[in-house]
Structure 1
Amino acid sequence: MQIETIKQEDGSQLIRINGDMDSQGCTELQPEFDHLVNNETLQDTTISLAGVDFLDSSGIGAIVFLFKRLKAKGKSLSLIEVHGQPMEIIRLLRIDSAIPVDSAQSTG
């Protein structure tokens, strides 16, 4: 799994994930997610799933857990460039009713 973190000019953070969000991949994501929650200077976090072709219950759990932790600290989370199987599971589980999800937004 590859994780690219880009701090935006507006102070928000963009995380680009490449690889499967399964139990192994989510283990690699956990330190980055912990940093997002504990970094007091960051408010808005956007995760690009353009490079994610597979999302299982571990990936959903990691996203929902991150969302809840960020929300508790007054921060926001959104998902962009979601496609294929990850979008299907997000819609099926109605994750998109709580977390903003955009399947078409492009990132600079």
Structure 2
Amino acid sequence: MLEYDKADQGDVTVFALKGNLDALTAPALKKEIEALLSARRINVVFDLRGLELIDSSGVGAIVSLFKRVRTLQGDVKIARLTGQPYEIFKLLRLDRAFEIYDGVDTAVRRFSV
């Protein structure tokens, strides 16, 4: 099960994820992301503090968003990545592709630099 809160902070949308991002839950997140992009909300921070598990479908959803947003001149940043999701990001070397921050506020501020 995946729960998420979405909040706009200026021109940045913060998704706080809680639970599992997997084959069962990734499609709903992708649908929400499509709605964001349609509204031209192209700067996104994923707050992953509450994310307990991520599988290949979850990684695919985040990477897909990253690629689409970049073509629209936006960006995706990751905040508070820990536990199993952190290990997966490291294993796949996604920690080299994404900017990862200890806090949400820091990640949001990096959009204005």
| TM-score between both structures, scaled by the size of structure 1 | 0.89
State the match for 1:96 in structure 2: 95
CA distance in 1, matches of 2:81, 2:75: 17
Give, in angstroms, the shift of residue 106 of structure 1: 4.5
Structure 1 unmatched runs, 5+: none
More helix as a share of residues:
2
More strand as a share of residues:
2
Give, in angstroms, the shift of residue 36 of structure 1: 2.2
CA distance in 2, matches of 1:18, 1:100: 20
- 2:103 is matched by which residue type in structure 1? Q
Counterparts of residues 36-55 of structure 1 (less than 5 Å): 36-40=36-40, 42-55=41-54
CA RMSD, aligned part only? 1.3
Counterparts of residues 1-108 of structure 1 (less than 5 Å): 1-8=2-9, 10-40=10-40, 42-102=41-101, 104-107=102-105
| TM-score between both structures, scaled by the size of structure 2 | 0.85
Contact 2:45 2:104 in 1 (8 A): no
Contact 1:81 1:106 in 2 (8 A): yes
Structure 2 unmatched runs, 5+: 106-113
CA distance in 1, matches of 2:104, 2:73: 25
